[in-house]
Structure formats: structure tokens, C-alpha cells
Amino acid sequence: MPQYAKSLTAAHRAFLTDLFPGDGCVLETEQLNAFSTDASRRRAMPWAAVRPESREQVVELLRWADAERMPVYPRARATGQVGNTVPLWGGVTVSLLRMNRIIDISERDFAAEVEPGVITSDFQEACAGKGLFYPPDPASVKISTMGGNISTCAGGLRAVKYGVTRDWVLGLEAVLPGGRTLTMGGRSHKDVVGLDLKRLFVGADGKLGLITRATVKLIPLPATSSSVLVGFADLATSMDGAMAVFGAGLLPCACEFMDATTLKAVRMGGDIPLAEEAQAALLFKFDGTPEGVAAEVERLREALRPVRPVSIEVGEGEAEEAVWAARRDISPGSYRLRPNKLSEDLSVPRGRVPELVRIAHEAGRDAGLPVLCYGHLGDGNIHTNIMHDAERPDEVRAAHRVKERLFRTAVELGGTISGEHGTGLTKASFVPEQLGAEQVRVMEAVRRVFDPHEIMNPGKGW
Amino acid sequence: MSDRISQHASHCILCGKCLQVCPLLRATGREELGPRSKSDLCRVLAEDPGRLSEVDVARLAGLCLGCGRCREVCSQGQDVPGLVAALRGAHPNFRSWLWKTWLTRARQLWSPGSKAAGLIPERFRTEKLGPMLKMLTGMTGGPGLDPFLTPKTFPDTYRGERMLLFAGCTANYVQGRWLMAALRLLDGLGADILPDGFVCCGSGLKGAGFADEAGAMAERNVAVWREAGRPRVAVFCASCLAGLAAYDRFESDEERTQWAESLLPLSVAVRDIGFVISDNASERIGYHHPCHAGKGDPDRVFLRHALGDRLIAETDRECCGFGGVMRLAAPGLTEPVNRQCWDALRDADMVLSGCSACLAQLSATAPDRVKVGHWLETIG
């Protein structure tokens, strides 16, 4: 393990307060508490937090941090689930919320340039104002940032049709430890010259450097969308339904799945537009031209007819939100079953989803805990919520046993322990089991090319 | 840690949903000022009291505009403004005393205070005090807006109904024209307005941590309503309405429901009045949506309908930055919030709203070319 600075000296403080004057540098314990945790609820206190407003400040910071072997923890809105922003070994947290300009949205290039602290939904709104579309839509889209989404390669509901954040990044500007600035890619939608370094930064969770600017690809804004909530008598039929839809040549922009336990939790919060006898549900969304969307919804009905769904609710215009209410209520609704959860986002090849869900249910039954399976069926990324009461040590142990069983199952099925959230602190220990020693060795060697002293976000899983 | 603080301390799951709506976080980029951080700060204080100083926690968490937007979106029912109020209550200081005095002695202080503030020479208006003094001066609203909406037809919905009118401190003590306009409209509707003995709604005191004083005001106002036979109560200030709606001391659950149902935003009552717009009306009107008006915002619904294309700009997530007692504690922090609000209204030459606090703040900070007033001032 590299030798890191052990604490913040008076000279360190002087450097930071000089580089980040006024409220740009935070040193007070009470204020620093805000930077100690994230949506993972893991916790460690940084020694300082700084708020750069320009690339030049970032360059000076990383020149200094590298020389001082100071751990650096990048952070924006800190909405991640796995503890990637938690400053495990103290050091300096870098809040990028003040680098939040949309620099350009170009209708001619179908590309945009942004700083990392721009809120993703604000950016999408600005694009929509020009008839343009940036599709990645993680659940946190209204509260998370472009920089955070790029660093974690955020996915989302629309990934089945449009792919994940990685597929939309054309170029990046990043500052490396030591103060070098690397400009990778650009506005060209195609580029095969050299290694695709920018892609290494997408999903690297801040381990290679600090992203200071990003160029992303845009497409024309779809004119309209419709959503369809379909109820099925049982799990097997819902899986047949999904197969039937994709088999009919349809490509929805979202295909979400909800199992019986999930529906139970949501129904406890109120009525949803789904038949009472439904024990599984699929939620489809189509976007495009009005004629195209209407035709696709009709083809969906036809494709589903042989599997005999118990209800079909189509939501268009303002009514579209009503069919999504059930999906949006899952996360808060899950707490109606137990006060705590382990939230995992396993991803398997689409054809193996039924096996994953079956094993998750079995594991839940064996442990005596409710396990919710829901999420992005269209791309095989199933969220499993292992509900438990953290006040009861037996339930906590049982929940972790279920989690480990599911991790192994995902890998055995040819999938991954994380399709979206990353590994950070909460899944770090399981990473070598999935990747194997050789991949981990290569990744560490690559990391040291960018960050020889491993000061960037140390202590986290790959 | 007092019970009043600890009852708020443990619900937050750190999901960050509140980060979407906090105007202070958005304007400053300071994560420690966001609602999630305040919840977490109090959790750490409760779980590990040796690590943090409660006084410093109270000072930091007290940097809250009290807009209540985070409470609206929280899936766990976390009440950060309530938590902040409890901390303020446990750690009172000179500023909170000043704020309390200002609110509890409105009758004696507001009109003279407003006049006195106007007499202070320009050279004494320091950077820190200037906006506050301008706000005090602006409370009387000068000559007000020129009316351009004339009621022509009245529905029979409320004809003959006995009703109370909760005017609020601003209308009672400094903005008599709002009160007169409201009474004229209710008279046209045929409502029988009962005499009342209402006092301040108490919401400004509650947010500042004076729970007992605010509770006494709530009890008094509910008693007035009870003695009048529990009639409907018309209200034309969004913050007063939110404050009244949050009352929680009743004889029974049934009475609590009855109270909630009796509160009638004046803009709902006047929605079906037929208005004629005169030629002098501005064609570039903006509407400021008060944080406390909630998603439905009846004033916005009314004005969209009444003004049509003349309404060219609206705020939505932008707060005016009034901030209650925080304005005294950290005026510099409310300025970027206020700037974002005016940025959203930049194309308007007249800005209307329906909250006395927002109007005081907007009047004090409006660009020279922009007139500001309550929508009641537009009604002739």
C-alpha cells in the first residue's frame, strides 16, 4: 500500500486556504460532516473539502496532492449507493458542484460540452429546449451530476434502447495527479485513432484523475412517448411476455419488471393501475414519432396476446405519469416491508434473468426475508432489495448471506455483481472473485500510469 | 439534545432526493447547507455527541431558508425545517430575539419601522444592512400597482355564506389595500364576513424556534374559528395559509379535518369571477411562485387563467431568498438565491405574487424598471 499523508499539517491548510479562498475551503468539523457520507450511508471524515471553480485550481491542487501523497476524493452530489465518495483515508474531498456551467449545446454538431457539476436533468432540459436529446437517465437524474454520471457510467431505464453513459461520451478533459491535463476525444462522433482513453475514465469512479470538462453526443428529441403497464398471473408468464415483445422485433426505450413482492410493497401504498390478480408486471415505454409510437403500442398488444396478460394499461400524454407511479414508488415503498435493505444491482445476460429471479426468491425464502426483484429487465439488470431489520443481528447476518449467494449466482450465470452502482466500499471485497487476479493486476498497472502514487479515491473496489 | 430536536433526527436515508429542491444548495454549491447534510449532522450529533459541538451544529443547520420544499419531496417524512426550528429554539441568540420581537410586536413596530427605515440616510445603509432596510421601507409598498382587473360577474358559490377572513400581519398593519381589495371581492361574492380576533399565524416564529409562542397563536386562532361556528376561512397570503394548515392542536381528529377543509385560498374563491382587463395592463407580467404555496399553488392557477398571454414568466423552483430569521444571520447567503429568482423573471416588467414575505423581499430587490405587488393590487 502506498504511503499517504497521515494528517493535514499547518502548511497543508495554508496551501488549501490560499488556493481556495473564502468559502472555497472547508476545515471545520461540523461543515466537513457533509462530505463524510453518501447514499451508501458509509462514513469517514475528510480532513478538508475544497470547491474548485476552474481547471487551473484543479491543476494546482493535484500537483500539490501528488507531491504530498494526499488522498483525494472527488465528489459531486454524492447520490451513489456504494460509498464511492466516502473519504476512507481522510485526505481532501473535492466538491465539483461549483464547476457547473453548460458551455455549449450545438445543434450543428449534435454535441454538447459541460462542466462536471451540471445537474443531469438540467442539462437534458436545456438540450430539449433546442430539440435535442441526451438519453442516459439514472434514477438519480434530477439530483446527480454529469460528472458523477460519467465517473460511475450511470445507466438507467432507457439503457435497453439507448445504452449507458459510456455510449454518449465523445470527449473528456481530465487533470491527472501531478497536474497534467489530458484532453481526450472531441466532438467527432467517430474516432479510431489511438487507444480510447476517455472510456477508461467513464466508470473509473474517480480513480484516474479529475474530470473537468465533458463532451457528449446528442440526438434529435423524440416527439412523443407512450407507456404500457402489463399485469401477468405469475412470474413465468411475465418472462414469456418480455420474450414475446422483443421477439416481435420491438425495441422499447424502457422495459421494467416488478415481481410479486415488489407489487405487494407498492400496493401497500395505494392503488395502482394493475389487475388485482397480477403477480408480476412489465412496464414498457416507447418513444419516437406519434405514428410510430402508436403502431408500436398496437404491435405490443398483439405480441402479448398469446401469453394472456391479466391487464394492460396504456398511458399517454398526462396519463403516462400514472402508469409510472408504481415504478417510482418501489424504492420508498420497499421500506413498508422492513426498515432496512441491502440494495444490489446484479446484471446477467437477458436470457438468464428468470433463473436469477428464481434463485433470489429461493434465497429469500430460505433466509426468511422479503427479497424484491425489479428493474431493467430489458438489459438484464435486475435490482434485488434484500429487506431486513438492522436492529436484529440475525436478520443482518441472513441478509448478507443472501447477498453473497446472489453475487455468486450472477457471476455463475455469466453476469456481474453490479450493472450500474459500482463497487466502491460495499462490494469491494467481492471484486477479485468476479474479475480474477490477472484482470485486477492489469487494472492496477493501468491505474498507476495515470496516478503513480494512487492518491485518487484510494481504498475502493474496482 | 432536547426531545424537540431528537424527534427529527433519525429518519433520513441519505437518498438525496431533497437536493433537487433546496434553493440554498442550488444557489451556493455548498453541500453542507443542503437538507440532507443537516439531517445527517443531527444524526451524528445524536449518535456520537462527543464528536460535534451542538452550538456549532445549531449555527450551521440554522442556515436554512425554511422554504419547506425538502419536506414535500422526502419519502421518509423527514422534516428538516422542523429540525432547524428545534435547534434554533434550543440555542436562541440576539438575532432570533430581534426576529421574535419584530414578529410579535408587528402592530407597534411594522408601520413606524417601515417609515423609520426609509428615513435613514443612504450613507448609513451598509452593504449588510442595506437590503434589510430597503425591505422594511418596501413593506408599505408605496403607491402600489395600478389596478387593471375589474370584476364584472360574480358566481353564487359563496353567496350568503358566513366566512372568516384571515388577513395576516402585513395586510393588517402595513398593506391595508390588500385587505380592502379582499373584502371588496368577498362582498361581490356575497359572502358574509364575520368579525374576527385572529392574531399572527405564527409560522415565522415557529420556523425561528419559538414553538411555544407559535403554539399559543395557533390555539388562539383555532379558538376564534371554533367560536365563530367553524366556518370557512379565506386566506390570501401563501405563507400564512401554509402556517395555518400546519396547526396540530385540535379537540379531535374530526376537528383537525374540519379545520383543514375550512381553509380557503382567496384565489380559489375568486376563480369564477368574470374579470375584464383594461388597456393599461402590462403585457409582460411575471409570477413568483412562493415556496410555501406547494405544488398546486392556487394563485398561479388563478393568474394563468386571468392573465392569459400577458403572463410571460414564472418562477417554479426559485426561492425569493427571504429566509426569515436566516436573513438576519447570513444576509450574504440569501443574495445568490434571490439573484436566481430574478434571473427567472428577467423578461417581466411587473411581478405578482401572493405571499407577504416573498413580496417584501422582491420589492426590496427588484430592478428599477420592475413593479412588484400582490395580485390583489391588480384588482380595481
pLDDT confidence of residue A141: 94
- List Cα–Cα distances, A187 to A169, A191, A215, A250, B99, in angstroms: 9, 9, 7, 31, 55
Share of chain A above pLDDT 70, in %: 100
Between A142 and A328, residue with greater pLDDT: A142
Q: Give the whole-angstrom CA distance, residue A100 versus residue A181.
A: 19
Residues B243-262 have a mean pLDDT of: 96
Residue A283: helix, strand or coil by DSSP? strand
Please judge whether A51 and B13 are an interchain contact, meaning their C-beta atoms are less than 8 angstroms apart.
Answer: no
What pLDDT digit, counting tens, does each position of B7-16 carry?
A: 766 678 899 9
Strands (E), A186-327: 210-217, 219-220, 224-232, 254-258, 280-288, 311-316
Measured between CA atoms, the residue of chain B closest to residue A100 is B29
Task: Answer for the pair A203, A153: CB distance below 8 angstroms, yes or no.
Answer: yes
Q: How confident is the model at residue B327 (pLDDT cuts 50, 70, 90)?
A: confident
Using the predicted structure, report yes or no on whether residue B103 has a pLDDT greater than 90.
no
Taking only the tens place, the pLDDT of each residue in B257-270 is 999 999 999 999 99
pLDDT, tens digit (0-9, with 9 covering 90-100), for A60-89: 999 999 999 999 999 999 999 999 999 999
> In 3D, which of B24, B78, B79, B72 has the Cα closest to residue B297?
B72
Nearest alpha-carbon partner for A67 in A14, A3, A13: A3
Q: Quick one: pLDDT band at residue A373, thresholds 50, 70, 90?
A: very high
A385 has a chain B CB within 8 A of its CB:
no
CA neighbor of A213 nearest in space, from A154, A145, A159: A145
Kindly determine whether residue A98 and residue B31, on different chains, have CB atoms separated by under 8 Å: no
Nearest CA in chain B to A80: B15
Q: Cβ separation of A143 and B13 shorter than 8 Å?
A: no
Categorize the per-residue pLDDT at B132 as very low, low, confident or very high, splitting at 50, 70 and 90: low
pLDDT at residue number B119: 60
Between residues B328 and A158, the one the model is more confident about: A158
What is the side-by-side strand order in the sheet with A92-95? A25-26, A48-50, A92-95, A72-75
- The C-alpha of A119 sits at a distance from chain B's nearest C-alpha, in angstroms, of 9
Q: Are B5 and B83 in contact (CB under 8 A)?
A: yes
B1–chain A nearest CA distance, Å? 16
What average pLDDT does this structure show over B119-128? 59
Residue B75: per-residue pLDDT: 83
Could you please report the per-residue DSSP string of A25-59? EE--HHHHGGGSB-TT--B---SEEE---SHHHHH
Selected for mutation to probe chain A from B10, B18, B32 (highest A CB count within 10 Å) is B32
Express each pLDDT in A2-55 by its tens digit: 899 999 999 999 999 999 999 999 999 999 999 999 999 999 999 999 999 999
For the segment B106-111, the average pLDDT, to the nearest whole number, is: 70
Which 8-state DSSP code applies to residue B137?
Answer: H
Residue B37 has pLDDT above 60, yes or no: yes
Rounded CA separation A255/A309 (Å): 16
Determine the distance in angstroms separating the CA of A30 from the nearest CA of chain B, rounded to an integer.
6
Give the model's pLDDT for residue B91.
Answer: 85
The more confident residue out of B135 and A386 is: A386
State yes or no: pLDDT of B141 exceeds 80: no
* Distance separating alpha carbons of residues B303 and B313, to the nearest angstrom: 12
- More confidently predicted of A130 and B324: A130
Task: Decide: residue A317, CB within 10 A, 0-12 exposed, 13-18 middle, 19+ buried.
Answer: exposed
Identify which of A159, A289, A296, A278 has the alpha carbon closest to the alpha carbon of residue A229.
Answer: A278
Instruction: For residues A364-386, give the mean pLDDT.
Output: 95
d(CA B273, CA B275): 6
- pLDDT value for B122: 63
Query: What is the pLDDT averaged over residues B90-115?
Result: 73
Q: Which of these, A226, A240, A320, lies nearest to A280 by C-alpha position?
A: A240
pLDDT at B223 over 60: yes
Contact B203, B213 (CB under 8 A): no
| Residue B140 pLDDT | 62
Of A33, A41, A78, the CB nearest to B41: A33
pLDDT one-digit tens code per residue, A331-370 = 878 988 998 999 899 999 999 999 999 999 999 999 999 9
B138 has pLDDT over 90: no
d(CA B154, CA B150): 11
The residue among B169, B5, B4, B98 whose CA lies nearest residue B327 is B98
Measure B331 CA to nearest chain A CA, in Å: 15
Reported as a single tens digit per residue, the pLDDT across A147-176 is: 999 999 999 999 999 999 999 999 999 999
Other Cβ atoms less than 10 A from the Cβ of B201: the count is 26
**What is the arithmetic mean of pLDDT over B194-220?**
92
- Residue B96's pLDDT band (cuts 50, 70, 90): confident
Residue A190: pLDDT over 80: yes
Distance, CA of A323 to CA of A329 (rounded, Å): 11
Give me the pLDDT at residue B129, please.
57
Contacts of B120 (CB under 8 A, 6+ apart): B133
| A77: contact with B, CB 8 A cutoff | yes
